[in-house]
């Protein structure tokens, strides 16, 4: 079990290669990468405080502007969204680490130690501080005691306590755990060195891996699974069966079965040896092609292409890369030149009764999860089928009535 202090997470960004490495350790080893509840609350709270400060300044600026404007303003700041900001940042960090509890005992002990200036708490400019540090430390200690079968790697750069010079009370916290059961690492690099071995990347091999059909298939599958997070997809599109000049559109529906991925460029790569295999973590860009609909009411299919940048984890083996997506950016439109080059690769809309029915089945699978009600799903199925000349075709589970 790896337990990270807040000073470690503050030192890395969500799109930092170090965050990707933590994701990779979770994916490639048996180690869990975690942070106590107090850590996640602290780093999300810091973002919320900054938001609140900016919100207050914006609200005051609007108020001042309204005071000197002869007519009513047609805009307002609105209610603050502090809770949403906190939830957003917690969710972002939970893509990197798993949460473990900070119990009432740890919180109470942290407060007690701060009140009594007990380590790791201290006096700074006449003020007692350190309750959070103590609660985080005790969260790791408590987990280690409750899981005697595990080794806990506590990673903290806190300068107030070092493994070679623990205060007496903190040595007492560790009593009975031993050096092998509780390992305190004081730098992120120590964690990297313990669980991975950095290697010199062979960029030619990396490109061959990312250009391989197996990697392309993996990217296409990943994009199908997570594209719903974006809602509509901004892409470059044109009619399938004519040589229209493409335009930037917002596609509401992207037919999953038609998706394919084409490697474009490599932004950066790092390689590591974990166990018996060498793995790469790369930030790269692919062009995703497919068949899209602009709207549920506009059923004319279009050839669509978008650019997708993702950080990926992969084996250095073009035949079996085992590629997975660690994080990704929102899809973006591509140039007209890229679109024209890739349009011939787009799977065309099915023709003939059997292929069209197959296409309807794909659309049913695609859209059903997005329907707020079964009744709407049934109505959508009726309209699609009627538009394509198949009468009343229902889809979805009708057993619920």
pLDDT bin (cut points 50, 70, 90) of residue 367 is low
pLDDT for 243 equals 77
Please provide the average confidence, as pLDDT, over all residues in the chain: 86
Report whether pLDDT(173) > 70: yes
Cβ-Cβ contacts under 8 Å for 318 (sequence gap 6 or more): 205, 208, 209, 211, 212, 214, 215
Confidence of residue 144 (pLDDT cuts 50, 70, 90): very high
Mapped to the 3 state alphabet, what secondary structure does 12-77 carry?
A: CCCCCHHHHHHHHHHHHCCCCEEEEHHHHHHHHHHHHHHHHHHHHHHHHHHHHHHHHCCCCCCCCC
pTM assigned to the model: 0.74
Q: pLDDT tens digits for 176-221?
A: 998 789 999 999 999 999 999 999 999 999 999 999 999 999 999 9
pLDDT of 312 above 90: yes
Share of the chain above pLDDT 70, in %: 83
pLDDT band at 351 (very low <50, low <70, confident <90, very high): very low
Does the pLDDT at position 360 exceed 60? no
- The model's pLDDT over 75-123, given as tens digits with 9 standing for 90+, comes to 888 899 999 999 999 999 999 999 999 999 999 999 999 999 999 999 9
Residue 381 is predicted with a pLDDT of 60
């Amino acid at each position: 079990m790896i337990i990270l202090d807040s000073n470690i997470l503050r030192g890395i960004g969500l799109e930092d290669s170090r965050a990707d490495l933590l994701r990779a350790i979770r994916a490639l080893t048996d180690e869990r990468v975690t942070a106590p509840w107090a850590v996640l609350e602290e780093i999300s709270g810091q973002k919320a405080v900054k938001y609140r400060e900016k919100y207050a300044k914006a609200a005051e600026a609007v108020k001042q502007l309204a005071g000197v404007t002869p007519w009513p303003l047609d805009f307002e700041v609105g209610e603050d969204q502090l809770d949403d900001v906190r939830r957003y940042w917690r969710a972002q960090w939970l893509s990197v680490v798993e949460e473990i509890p900070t119990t009432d005992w740890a919180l109470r002990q942290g407060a007690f130690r701060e009140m009594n200036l007990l380590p790791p708490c201290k006096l700074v400019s006449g003020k007692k501080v350190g309750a959070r540090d103590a609660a985080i430390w005790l969260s790791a200690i408590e987990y280690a005691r409750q899981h005697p079968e595990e080794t806990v790697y506590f990673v903290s750069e806190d300068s107030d306590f070092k493994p070679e010079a623990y205060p007496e009370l903190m040595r007492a916290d560790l009593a009975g755990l031993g050096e092998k059961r509780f390992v305190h690492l004081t730098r992120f690099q120590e964690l990297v060195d313990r669980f991975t071995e950095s290697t010199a990347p062979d960029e030619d091999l990396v490109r061959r891996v990312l250009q391989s059909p197996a990697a392309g298939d993996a990217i296409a599958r990943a994009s199908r699974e997570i594209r719903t997070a974006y809602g509509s997809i901004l892409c470059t599109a044109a009619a399938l069966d004519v040589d229209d000049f493409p335009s930037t559109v917002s596609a509401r529906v992207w037919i999953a079965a038609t998706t394919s991925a084409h490697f474009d460029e490599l932004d950066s790569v790092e390689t590591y040896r974990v166990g018996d295999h060498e793995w790469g973590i790369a930030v790269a860009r692919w062009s995703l092609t497919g068949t899209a609909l602009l709207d549920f009411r506009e059923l004319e299919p279009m050839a669509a292409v978008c650019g997708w940048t993702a950080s990926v984890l992969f084996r250095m083996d073009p035949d079996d890369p085992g590629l997975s997506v660690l994080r990704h950016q929102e899809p973006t439109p591509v140039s007209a030149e890229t679109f024209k080059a890739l349009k011939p690769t787009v799977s065309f809309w099915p023709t003939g009764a059997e292929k069209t029915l197959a296409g309807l089945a794909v659309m049913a699978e695609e859209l059903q999860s997005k329907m707020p009600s079964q009744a709407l799903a049934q109505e959508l199925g009726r309209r699609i089928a009627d538009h394509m000349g198949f009468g009343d075709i229902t889809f979805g589970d009708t057993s619920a009535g």
